[in-house]
Amino acid sequence: MQILTPHVYWAQRHGEIFLRVELSDAKNLNISLQENNTLQFRAQGHGAKGDNEYEFSLEFLEPVQPEINHKSTQRQVDIKIKKQEERWWDRLTLQEKKPLFLAPDFDRWLDESDAEMELQAKEEKINKISIESRVRKDPYLGLKKGYLFMYNLVQFLGFSWIFVNMTVRLFILGQDSFYDTFHTTADMMYFCQMMAVLEVVNPLLGLVKTGFFPAMIQVAGRNVILFVIFGSVEEMQNKPVVFFVFYLWSTIEIFRYPFYMLACINTEWKLLTWLRYSLWIPLYPLGVIAEAVAVIQSLPIFDETRLFSLPLPAMLGHSLSFSFSLQLYLVLMFLGLFINFRHLYKQRRRRFRSRKRKVH
Active-site positions read 284, 291
Q: Is 57 strand, coil or helix?
A: strand
Distant-in-sequence, close-in-space partners of 324: CB < 8 Å, separation ≥ 6:
none
Identify which of 16, 14, 63, 10 has the alpha carbon closest to the alpha carbon of residue 35.
63
CB 237 within 8 A of CB 246: no
List the Cα angle 146/150/153 in 5-degree steps. 140
Q: Distance (Å, rounded) from C-alpha 20 to C-alpha 185?
A: 64
The backbone torsions φ and ψ at residue 71, rounded to the nearest 5 degrees and listed phi first, read: -140, 125
Q: Distance (Å, rounded) from C-alpha 319 to C-alpha 323?
A: 11
Q: What is the length of the chain?
A: 360
Question: In the sheet where 3-4 sits, what is the strand order?
Answer: 3-4, 50-59, 38-47, 24-33
CB 243 within 8 A of CB 294: no
Q: Distance (Å, rounded) from C-alpha 49 to C-alpha 2?
A: 10
